């Protein structure tokens, strides 16, 4: 069973993404901050991370992505940024940080399912 980590500070978004992904046979884990995400990724090694950019605390999604992609133990994790930041410069920052794909909120649940299935092979 593939593991997916949903990282977003908003409960509603975490729940919406989880419900969206229930169509597949995935083990879903959730985190509310970049710091929490890194701890979970190091311990659980999820196959895919769905990461928000804007989160409270010291580490946003871009920094968490950069940290994970620069760590030899976690650099293989696939990361989809899922954020309200949809300007081209923001999208470029996401890819520069190491994101494998980028979705802008509000998102199409069908498109997200399709992308998750594509990334998990």
Give the model confidence (pLDDT) of 72-118 as tens digits. Answer: 999 999 999 999 988 999 999 999 999 999 999 998 999 999 999 99
CATH number of the domain that residue 71 is part of = 3.40.50.2300
**Nearest partner of 14 among 6, 22, 23, judged by Cα:** 6
The stretch 22-45 carries a mean pLDDT of 95
Q: Is the pLDDT of residue 24 over 90?
A: no
Is residue 121 situated within a structural domain?
no
How far is residue 108's CA from residue 54's CA, in Å, rounded to a whole number?
Answer: 20
The distance between the two most distant Cα atoms of the chain, rounded to a whole number of Å, is 36
* Residue 78 within any structural domain of the chain: yes
SS3 68: helix
Tell me how many domains the chain contains. Answer: 1
Structural domain including 7 reads: 2-114
Question: Do the Cβ atoms of 50 and 29 come closer than 8 Å?
Answer: no
Instruction: Confirm whether 92 is domain-assigned.
Output: yes
Q: What CA–CA distance (Å, rounded) separates 18 from 87?
A: 26
List the structure tokens of 46: 């999820």
**Residue pLDDT, tens place only, 48-80:** 999 999 998 889 999 999 999 999 999 999 999
């Amino acid at each position: 069973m593939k593991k997916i980590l949903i990282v977003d500070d908003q409960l509603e978004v975490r729940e919406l993404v989880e419900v969206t992904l229930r169509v597949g046979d995935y083990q879903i884990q959730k985190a509310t901050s970049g710091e929490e995400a890194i701890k979970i990724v190091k311990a659980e090694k999820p196959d895919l991370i769905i990461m928000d950019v804007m989160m409270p605390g010291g580490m946003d999604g871009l920094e968490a992505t950069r940290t994970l992609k620069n760590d030899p133990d976690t650099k293989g994790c696939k990361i989809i940024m899922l954020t309200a930041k949809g300007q081209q410069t923001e999208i470029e920052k996401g890819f520069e940080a190491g994101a494998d794909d980028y979705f802008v909120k509000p998102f199409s649940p069908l498109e997200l399912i399709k992308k998750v299935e594509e990334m998990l092979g």
